Amino acid sequence: MKGIVLSGGSGTRLYPMTRAANKQLLPVYNKPMVYYPLTTLMLAGCREILLVVNPHDVESYRRLFGDGRQWGLAIDYAVQPRPGGIAEVFLVGRDFIGKDRVGLILGDNLFYGDSLPAVAERGAKGSGAVIYAYWVADPSAYGVIEFDAQDR
């Protein structure tokens, strides 16, 4: 399975910090934020990774990750000219994806917990789409996932 990290946004909610630095490159504890979703994809078994970034930050990502060889990865880059949503990432990355299965994670999503390796691996081995979410008291403050009666 291949992995895609979407880091193409402009980070406007964190201005003025993100006027000078990409949000996903800002530190969380002791490493850039984007390391966390990349690690999640690695736990799911992804070794071919596409980083989808905005045109202003692609060189910063290349300096940070290179081709990924130092972590046993093959990292490619694609530019999303302007924020176009999650679905557009599959169009931007269609040549990378080809006919392979793919896992997509947002560059600012941090998943954690003792069961994370097992959950990531189980999702990677399943069929169909798997959505990971977390219950929160006020979902209107975040992206909201809704399912119909057929779990679609």
Q: What is the pLDDT of residues 41-70, one digit of tens each?
A: 998 889 999 999 999 999 999 999 999 999
Query: Over the stretch 68-88, which tens digit does the pLDDT of each residue have?
Result: 999 999 999 999 988 888 889
CA–CA distance from 62 to each of 23, 54, 55, 122 (Å)?
16, 12, 12, 30
According to DSSP, residue 131 is labeled -
CA 113 from centroid of its chain's CA atoms: 18
At position 99, the amino acid (one-letter code) is K
Copy the structure tokens of residue 35: 């390391």
**pTM of the complete model:** 0.86
Crossing angle, helix 35-43 and helix 116-125, to 10 degrees? 60
